[in-house]
């Protein structure tokens, strides 16, 4: 937290220097060539939802560089300058980005509107310590382990739709002239999410097993709860949680007794432990995408959140042995 405060102070000095050098006034757009609403988002789901709502009326960017693991991300001074120059800043929730509140307070820009995209959402508690085998004094990521709540709300598509509503409110407040278009775009996106939800519901209701076994951090709790799956992950909410040997052995037993033919690994994270456990249990490995961020390749191909979730559904259908719909 002290590092964040020092970063905010440094950002303030840098912002003042930039203002003096460029002659920019507080609240001006960063580029005279682009007078559209400037929107800064943190994670990929917010970026994708925001650009769908924005259409061509706003310019949306993402703080998290493609390919970067998000759980340990903390903004740099140049990131805070970007936020201070924007008209709209959108973050997920205080569990996913615990640094956001301090940065918002430190920037104190009168022209900046802030959206907590998870403000409408009812959260699930994070996985208990005793389940994922963490030991007292073991490695913890300060971002999530102390929060007690699971931040991965976008993986319940009804909650994702609530996030879209909060994002829409931010757009309308920041740029009321384009409110009609923003509402139309948001409704189209919510319809796509509802249709995606229905495809998941139909597909995952016809599976040989309803046990989702994941050799990574506790990412897919919301998805599992929405579709009636039993979910077991190797480690906790943070991507750098360290599972105990007991937890690893327990997951191997769960694989063998559940009748599962596959163990799931998570895109963008090392599959090393997952592959080791799968070999021990004599099952295959399939990839699921947590959608926190994109690879550089997917970002370059303009892959969407819906695209990633369709990819996940195909993997789940194979891994849980679901009948073709």
**For the segment 113-159, what is each residue's pLDDT rounded down to a tens digit?**
999 999 999 999 986 544 544 433 333 333 444 457 999 999 999 99
Q: Which fold has domain 2-120+148-191?
A: Rossmann fold (3.40.50)
Distance from C-alpha of 290 to C-alpha of 273, rounded to nearest angstrom: 17
Are 267 and 260 within 8 A, CB to CB?
Answer: no
**Looking at the chain, how many residues does it have?**
325
Condensed to tens digits (0 to 9), the pLDDT of residues 57-76 reads: 999 999 999 998 888 788 89
Task: Give 203's contacts (C-beta < 8 A, 6+ positions apart).
Answer: 313, 316, 317, 322, 325
Are 212 and 255 within 8 A, CB to CB?
Answer: no
Considering the entire predicted model, what is its pTM?
A: 0.85
Distance from C-alpha of 261 to C-alpha of 154, rounded to nearest angstrom: 27
Q: Do domains 2-120+148-191 and 197-319 have the same CATH topology?
A: yes
Distance from C-alpha of 258 to C-alpha of 324, rounded to nearest angstrom: 21
Q: Higher model confidence: residue 293 or residue 14?
A: 293
Per CATH, the number for 197-319 is: 3.40.50.1980
Condensed to tens digits (0 to 9), the pLDDT of residues 85-116 reads: 999 999 999 999 998 888 888 886 778 999 99
Distance from C-alpha of 59 to C-alpha of 48, rounded to nearest angstrom: 12
Q: What is the pLDDT of residue 240?
A: 60
Are 143 and 71 within 8 A, CB to CB?
Answer: yes
Tell me 155's DSSP state.
G
Q: What is the pLDDT of residue 58?
A: 98
Helix (H) or strand (E) holding 267: none
Condensed to tens digits (0 to 9), the pLDDT of residues 159-198 reads: 999 999 999 999 999 999 999 999 999 999 999 999 999 9
- Distances, alpha carbon 297 to alpha carbons 71, 268, 301, in Å: 21, 12, 6
Q: Where are the domains of the chain?
A: 2-120+148-191, 197-319
Q: Higher model confidence: residue 11 or residue 186?
A: 186
Three-class SS state of 285:
strand
For residue 129, what are its two tokens?
A: 């310590």
* pLDDT over threshold 90, residue 11: no
For residue 263, what are its two tokens?
A: 């163990």
Q: How far is CA 59 from the centre of its chain?
A: 20
* pLDDT over threshold 60, residue 10: no
Condensed to tens digits (0 to 9), the pLDDT of residues 255-280 reads: 999 889 999 999 888 888 899 999 99
């Amino acid at each position: 937290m002290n590092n964040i405060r020092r970063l905010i102070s440094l950002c303030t000095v840098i912002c003042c220097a930039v203002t003096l050098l460029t002659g920019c006034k507080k609240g001006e757009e960063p580029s005279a060539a682009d007078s559209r609403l400037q929107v800064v988002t943190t994670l990929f789901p917010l970026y994708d939802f925001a650009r769908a709502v924005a259409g061509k009326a706003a310019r949306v960017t993402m703080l998290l560089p493609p390919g970067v693991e998000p759980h340990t991300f903390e903004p740099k001074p140049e990131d805070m300058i970007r936020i201070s120059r924007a008209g709209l800043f959108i973050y997920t929730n205080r569990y996913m980005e615990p640094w956001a509140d301090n940065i918002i307070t430190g920037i104190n820009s009168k022209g900046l509107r802030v959206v907590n995209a998870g403000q409408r959402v009812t959260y699930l508690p994070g996985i208990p310590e005793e389940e994922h085998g963490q030991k007292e004094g073991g490695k913890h990521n300060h971002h999530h382990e102390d929060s007690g709540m699971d931040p991965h709300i976008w993986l319940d598509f009804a909650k994702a739709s609530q996030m879209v509503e909060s994002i829409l409110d931010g757009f309308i407040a920041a740029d009321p002239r384009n409110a009609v278009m923003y509402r139309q775009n948001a409704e189209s996106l919510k319809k796509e999410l509802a249709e995606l939800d229905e495809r998941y519901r139909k597909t995952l209701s016809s599976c040989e097993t309803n046990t989702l076994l994941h050799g990574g951090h506790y990412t897919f709790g919301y998805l599992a709860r929405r579709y009636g799956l039993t979910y077991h992950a190797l480690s906790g909410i943070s991507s750098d949680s360290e599972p105990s040997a007991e937890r690893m052995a327990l997951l191997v037993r769960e694989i063998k007794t559940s009748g599962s033919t596959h163990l799931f690994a998570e895109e963008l994270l090392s599959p090393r432990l997952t592959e080791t456990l799968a070999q021990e249990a004599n099952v295959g490995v399939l990839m699921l995408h947590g959608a926190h961020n994109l690879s550089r390749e997917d970002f370059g191909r303009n892959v969407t959140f819906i695209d990633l979730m369709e990819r996940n559904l195909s993997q789940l259908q194979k891994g849980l042995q679901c009948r073709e719909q």
